[in-house]
Chains A and B, each alone.
Chain A
Amino acid sequence: MHQLPKLLAVRASRSLLQHRFQKLHYSSSTHSFSSNSASHSSSSLSKFLNEISTNLSHVEINQNKYDLDVHGKGEGYHPTSPPAAILTPTSVTDISSILKYCNQYKIPVIPYGAGTSVEGHVSAIHPSSISLDMVKFKQVDLPTDGTILEDAHIQVGAGVTRHELNHALRHTGLEFKVDPGADATIGGMTATSASGTTAVSYGTMRENILGLECVLPDGTVANCGSFALKSSSGYDLTSLMCGSEGTLGVITKVTVKLHPVAEHVSAAICEFDTLHEAAMAISTMKFSSIPLERCELLDESSLDAFHKYTIMSDGNETNDSNTEEVVRKPTVFLEFTGATKDIVQEHVKLTELICNEFGGSNFEFKTDEAERRKLWSARHNLYYASLAMRKGAEKAIITDACVPLSKLAHVISATAQDVKDYGVIATTFGHAGDGNFHCILPILEDDDKEYIQKLHEINDNLIKRTLEVGGTCTGEHGIGNGKIKHLMQEHGEGGVKFMEMIKKGLDANNIMNPGKIVDI
């Protein structure tokens, strides 16, 4: 449960309820921007901003230093790199005009959703960049009277966050299943091809969008995809934009696929002596055709962090320093859904047998919603639990690699061993059903260069191992700027050239989020 604001007996409730879910968007708008502002001025930027305030006067221009800082960073460890100004368009035509001016005056532009990316996606490489705030694109195309949706899809503005979307859908019986930890915007999730714990059953963003509307760098508005569930019609433009990280255009509207809210759910956990045995148990579950709604693997360090920082169900955080010294074991977290209670029970029983075959112990399952939520909210808050392992840490390097399932146990173990050998503090856990895992390496403000260097080496070693077994250096977080150096090894010369050709063809002036994915 979120922190609830103190309620007055009978107070205008609308604003309180909005606060519960929406980030209040304060912006000190100023149309009389100062061309002498701080360190981000150039004559072409001034001319560009002049055009906007003259011809698109309803588009807010914000050069407040604090807001610029917010727009210059995501939730990763990369340093803040603020843009020179934030523009808030209100329509697709606004964006089209803005991009034309950007091309004319060579002003780099970075689309901004919720700022939850972790690979430095929104960092402004060039000082005269502008941030394009998508906050006004919050339309959710539901029939105004909440009648049942006929098809399991819905069109939403790129600025709608996934919690906002599911809240709007709450009485339709359908929900949007992709669940990265953050409450990211649908546009941002599309731009990074995000995914979360439900990928093992529903796939990533790529498998959950039917189409999108975007504005290309030259101002062209393009509609990609359709409402059909499959299509062989033309190039797969939707897939091209998916994962393009703002380098090929601005995504303005997305048609997302929805799935029924599960009626019968069961969650289970099981401990294993080694990561290898846990991974083998998971493979066997899949080979036995057991449909897994979620399948997460936490190593000893994650469990340690998670138990030390237990979040109580009513929202209070306690630092539980009274835990006895228990030996933590790698643990698998599973979730099952099905059309009837019996079907789910059968799957749970079968899974327990499989876990026992591989030396699993303390198999537990729960069906009650509150208890299941408690299990999973802890998993979703693992990031904060990990940060809490180093008191005062506010950010971390989060590694993101994805390997073929047969190599998962080996790569996780080797990484966990690296963490021990280098003597740093980190937690390791993964979306075991997909072969994707994350290592959270918390950073303190006053960490010395050596410590930071160790963290980067652990990440580099991990990526090297990953690419050696034919994996990818990023399963869900994206390339941003930091992982460009791995693209050659992963995709080869041909692959990288292919990407460069696409970028050059669409964005010859390199105004769309330059310095990300490809450097042209």
Chain B
Amino acid sequence: MKILVGVKRVVDYAVKVRVGANGVELKNVKMSMNPFCEIATEAAVRLKENKAANVSEVVAVSVGPKQCQDTLRTALAMGCDRAIHVKTDLRGDYMELQSDSVAKIFQKIVEEKEQNTDLVLLGKQSIDSDCGQVGPMLAGFLNYPQATFAANIDLDGDGLKVERETDSGTETIKIPSLPAVITCDLRLNEPRYATLPNIMKAKKKKIDTIDANDLGVDLTAKNKVLEVYEPPPRKEGIVVEDVDELIAKLKNEAGLLQ
């Protein structure tokens, strides 16, 4: 099995984002691998460690500026074998580069550069654009079966059995045979911490760089971002004296009681 993993470089989830004149401020802000992409990478590496899966190699792919190399090094330190960096300075947080272009970039990689890819693992969504679209769009473009929000992946004969988490419960989906696209959700695994020896080894692994413009993909944004603003500050709560006052306020002010 040959696995391709998409890893996106985003604003670190713990950072308190600020909105500037041109969308979210990215200058001097801590960036790291999208948490759902970490989970996808961990899933790929665990499949590789599973002898029964017979994985020949895991290739990490990232689309973005030159600093994406750091994100790819992290994926390599976690256990990917080599990486591809699709270089572009377009903003990946929906301001400039959008899901359909990214999906088309991945399509080109799978069809032209990394033929014989059996499985594409992606995070279910990125935490900057929160679209969750690349996985399903890519499956559509490639005409591959897809299973999104995977909370569990098991080998099943020639294909895979995926448990999908939704708000109303868990679905079990059978993918009868590969190739396929799977997007990964929080409950799938807990990504490993890279150890220093692996980080050192990762420095020697190969990263190929391709310019995004050379792929023949239309990178223009189809949707226009009109405005970016911070949510209004949370209104202060009040302390009421007793239950009567609470009921009065719920009735008269909040309009929640008849």
Contact = CB atoms under 8 A, between A and B. Distances in A.
A184 to B, nearest CB: 18
Interface string B65-81: 00100110010010000
Contacts of B167: 6-9
Most buried by A among B28, B30, B31: B30
Interface in A135-175: 142, 144-148, 164, 167-168, 170-175
Contact of A9 (B17, B29, B166): B166
B199 A148 contact: yes
Nearest to A167: B14
Interface in B149-174: 149, 165-167
Given A9-B149, A17-B127, A144 B29 contact: yes
Interface stretch (A256-264, A353-361, A452-460, A468-476): A256-264
A145 B199 contact: no
Contacts of B70: 145-147
A147 B73 CA distance: 9
B95 interface: no
Given A10-B132, A173-B77, A262 B127 contact: no
Interface string B30-50: 111101100000000000000
A8 to B, nearest CB: 6
Nearest to A10: B132
Contacts of B17: 14
A417 interface: no
A12 B130 contact: yes
A13 B130 contact: yes
Contacts of A147: 70
Contacts, number: 92
Contacts of A56: none
B196 interface: yes
Contacts of A173: 77, 193-199
Contacts of B186: 4, 7
A56 B112 CA distance: 62
Nearest to A142: B30
B255 interface: no
B230 interface: no
A146 B32 contact: yes
A161 to B, nearest CB: 11
A449 B28 CA distance: 58
Contacts of A14: 13, 17, 127, 130
Contacts of A319: none
A4 B31 CA distance: 24
B87 to A, nearest CB: 16
A17 B191 CA distance: 14
A262 B198 CA distance: 11
Interface of B (DSSP majority class):
loop
Contacts of A175: 193
Interface in A238-260: 260
Contacts of B31: 144-146
B239 interface: yes
B222 interface: no
B236 interface: yes
Contacts of B149: 9
A1 interface: yes
B190 interface: yes
Contacts of B35: 13, 17
B165 A164 contact: no
Nearest to B196: A173
A28 interface: yes
A377 to B, nearest CB: 13
B125 interface: yes
Interface in B175-230: 185-187, 190-191, 193-199
A263 B165 CA distance: 32
B232 interface: no
A18 interface: yes
A431 to B, nearest CB: 24
A22 interface: yes
Contacts of A28: 236-237
Contacts of A260: 195-196
29 contacts: A7-B165, A7-B167, A7-B186, A8-B167, A10-B124, A10-B130, A10-B131, A17-B35, A22-B14, A28-B237, A65-B239, A144-B29, A144-B30, A145-B67, A145-B70, A146-B30, A146-B70, A170-B191, A171-B33, A171-B194, A172-B194, A173-B193, A173-B196, A174-B196, A175-B193, A261-B193, A262-B195, A263-B195, A263-B197
Interface of B: 13-14, 17, 28-33, 35-36, 67, 70-71, 74, 77, 124-125, 127, 130-132, 149, 165-167, 185-187, 190-191, 193-199, 236-237, 239
Closest 5 pairs between A and B when the two form their complex, measured CB to CB: A173-B196, A10-B132, A263-B195, A17-B13, A173-B199
Interface of A: 1, 4, 6-14, 17-18, 21-22, 28-29, 64-65, 142, 144-148, 164, 167-168, 170-175, 260-263
Given A13-B36, A145-B70, A171-B77, 4 more contacts: A4-B186, A7-B186, A144-B28, A172-B194
